[in-house]
Amino acid sequence: MRTRDRRATAPDRSAAALAALLLPALAWVGCGGWEFGSGRASAPPFIEAGDLEQIRARGTLRVLLPLLERRSYLPRGHDVLEAERELVEAFARRQGLEPYWIHVASRSDLIPYLLEGKGDLIAANLTATDERRSQVAFTVPVGFAREQLVTRRGDDGLHGPADLAGRRVAVRPSSSFRHTLEALRARHPEIAFEEVPEHVDTDEILHRVATRRLDVTIADSNLVEAALAYRDDLRVAFDVGPDRPIAWAVRRESRRLLAGLNLFLAEDQLSARHARPAFGDLGEIRERRVLRVLTRNSPATYFLWRGELMGFEYELARRFAREHDLRLEIVVPRREEDLVTMLVEGRGDLVAAALARPGPEEEREVALSVPYHYVAPTVVARAGEDAPLTPQDLAGRAIHVRRDSPHWELLDRLRREHGFALHAAPDTLDAEEIIALVADGTYDLTVAPSHVVDIETTWRSDVRAALVLGDPVPLAWAVRGSNPELLAAVDRFLRREYRGLFYNVIYDKYFRDPKKILRHQQYRARAGELSPYDRLVRTHAELHGFDWRLIVAQIYQESEFDPLAQSFAGAVGLLQVLPTTAEQLGLERLEDPEANIAAGIRYLSWLRERFDEELPYWERMWFALAAYNVGHGHVVDARRLAARLGLDPDRWFGNVERAMLLLSRPEHAREARHGYCRGGEPVHYVREIRSRYESYLATLGQPDAPAPRTERATL
């Protein structure tokens, strides 16, 4: 185990020297041209207008995207934006290039940035209009969409353009929808135009329509369809126009790049693949170049964290797909839909979802792979108590699990023998929520699969694995019984990877969080000092208007002042900065305390600016801290859910934090743009930082900024 030296201090490099290092990258961010944590890169941004030869020489393909349309939502099936990203990555791999995602502040900046040489390719669900064709060259279509008039559910009086008299249609001025709207207004002058700021993305516009902040809007059908997959408060009133091509854009003089893209896309035939079920074996899958993987949105399988798609099953499946030069399409059904049934119906090629043996009816139609993981039913108890050590110690205790749990039958047999009470938990609760109810004392004990218990105990210390019941059960992937070639390929892959280097790395990443390793040294503050890094924190906190004591409280929560700390997702150092974030800032040595503090504070400031300026000072801070922990998108989802539940979406404590806890429930996660969220973690994170910050204030005095409110919400 690596020894960590808590006595490490900042290097002698001055703040001025570090500022000189940061200024070029921060200037680029300041002009809206870069987003934190969103790409892969080995060099800072640059200007170059070359063709494919120059791109190959540098080894990176710079791809322009709008700031808010990065991977900031959870793809649940065929998703046009995710498909474009996967296509770009596949093209780049074929050319021996590394994709480098450049996020601009507004869609109106895409073509100017391309023409100025700040990127090589626009891949952003861009409609190939005549006006745009006069400026750039478009590839063959990657898809098609038609413009639709969208309103909220219940607004049933709109059937055609004539019904828009007196209504306000909200669109971004630079969008192709503006031209469509002007054509409608030429025929129906009573229609009003409402301008939406360029930085507001389509999903947010649709949300504002659904919540009556905007009247109606025009949007592309593919994006509307994606929104309707997780919300039911919108309605398509009518189509505004015919299908139009969605394509990628390059500079008109980039002829070789355009030819290479067109050849690649023509072979791919993206637009015709996904309309019908498919049952073919590996040969047919290779022809369509897409592997459809059925899974669940959960912390053990597939989820979104700080804008990154993650999950043990997801990473294994992605590695398998890339080994066969396939693009991965994740299909997440609704909770009531059965994964194996969908596989048999041809709506996916492979189930990768911690699957135990299916029932006898299903087993006749599917084939299971060799095992790749083993889990055992595990009793979960509160920490700090004398937990049961044997089945006999369960006498007189009460165990809560769902009646449809795979452990119910086992527990029903054991209760007669060992004298414990077995209670059915509500069907709406998943295993993680039931564990949380054990932690707070609502339930006595529960039983969950060991891998779920492992995940929960990587971030919470109020529960423990108390007893394993029965032998470990193998988990496997499933394919249709009529696909022996795919099964053989899966078996070869899993046999090779099981307990190999890649497998062990991602297993430790999800089930053995290194942040839980016991630290052997504790920093003891001297009089008037909170940490060894107070001077550095003061310098960088003041640049962004933060109280330095709040940042010190955050550093303790992130790393306990350990400059070598590393998270399950690869975040590094005192403020647990992701390497992709550091790359955007031109920094390489995240273990360096000053560079890490500078990057983390800059990122926290960027997050704070994404919340409404009208919010009270401290509410913006709590929202920003929660977003630092779990991602901006999940906080947006929690605010939307809070409003639906009659809570105040502008207050964190006692309001949005309550909604955040609910995002782990399937009925709420499936209606959230960003899907499942382990909501207890950001709730705990913000509360711990506030509590420690208040103790710092009591020790060192009050801040210059308004003091936080100290009301205590009952969760």
pLDDT higher than 80, residue 642 = yes
pLDDT in the model for residue 566: 81
More confident residue, 281 or 355: 281
**Separation of alpha carbons 409 and 306, rounded Å:** 39
- pLDDT tens for 162-220 read 999 999 999 999 888 998 999 999 999 999 999 998 878 888 899 999 989 999 999 99
User: 56 versus 528: which is more confidently predicted?
Assistant: 56
- Compute CA 490 distance to the chain's CA centroid, rounded to the nearest angstrom: 27
Instruction: Quote the pLDDT of residue 657.
Output: 94
Average pLDDT score over residue span 692-705: 68
**pLDDT higher than threshold 70 for residue 27:** no
Query: Beta-carbon neighbour count of residue 32 at 10 Å?
Result: 16
User: Residue 248 corresponds to which amino acid?
Assistant: W
**What digits encode the pLDDT tens for the residues 158-176?**
999 999 999 999 999 988 8
Range in 244-258, 272-286, 561-575, 587-601 with the lowest mean pLDDT: 272-286
The pLDDT assigned to 461 comes to 80
**Rounded distance between C-alpha atoms, residue 396 and residue 418, angstroms:** 9
Q: Alpha carbon of 359 to those of 296, 355, 376, 388, 406: distances in Å?
A: 19, 11, 19, 32, 11
Taking domain 34-274, whether its CATH number is 3.40.190.10 is answered by yes
Give the span between the Cα atoms of 135 and 126, in whole angstroms: 13
pLDDT attached to residue 583: 65
User: Taking the complete model, does pTM exceed 0.75, yes or no?
Assistant: no
pLDDT tops 70 at residue 78? no
Measured at the alpha carbon of residue 16, what is the angle toward residues 102 and 563, in degrees to the nearest 5? 70
Using CA atoms, how far apart are residues 146 and 590, in angstroms rounded to an integer?
Answer: 46
User: pLDDT at position 438, please?
Assistant: 94
Tokens of 661: 């806890």
Q: Calculate the alpha carbon distances from 637 to 98, 326, 671, 676 in Å.
A: 32, 32, 9, 10
Q: Where are the alpha helices (DSSP H) in 31-137?
A: 52-58, 80-95, 110-115, 130-133
pLDDT recorded at residue 44: 41
Read off the pLDDT band of 588 (50, 70, 90). Answer: low
CB 480 within 8 A of CB 366: yes
Architecture label for domain 534-700 = Orthogonal Bundle (1.10)
Mean pLDDT of the chain: 82
Task: For residue 308, indicate whether it is catalytic.
Answer: no
Q: What is the CATH number of domain 282-373+476-512?
A: 3.40.190.10
Show me where the domains of the chain are located: 34-274, 282-373+476-512, 377-470, 534-700
* CB-facing half-sphere around the CA of 36: CA atoms within 13 A: 23
Rounded-to-integer distance, Cα 382 and Cα 435, Å: 9
CA-CA-CA-CA dihedral for 530, 531, 536, 542, to nearest 10? -30
Q: Given the structure tokens 């596989």, which residue do they identify?
A: 343
Token pair in block for residue 613? 């300026």
User: How far is residue 83's CA from residue 541's CA, in Å, rounded to a whole number?
Assistant: 40
The pLDDT value given to residue 73: 57
Instruction: Return all residues near 539 (Cβ < 8 A) that are at least 6 apart.
Output: 15
* Catalytic choice (558, 583, 594, 657): 558
Percent share of the chain, pLDDT over 70: 82
Residues in the chain, total: 715
pLDDT (mean) for 569-589: 75
Which of 98, 65, 89 lies closest to 290 in space, CA to CA? 89
Domains 377-470 and 534-700 share a fold: no
CATH classification number, 377-470, choose in 3.40.309.10, 3.40.50.300, 3.40.190.10, 3.40.640.10? 3.40.190.10
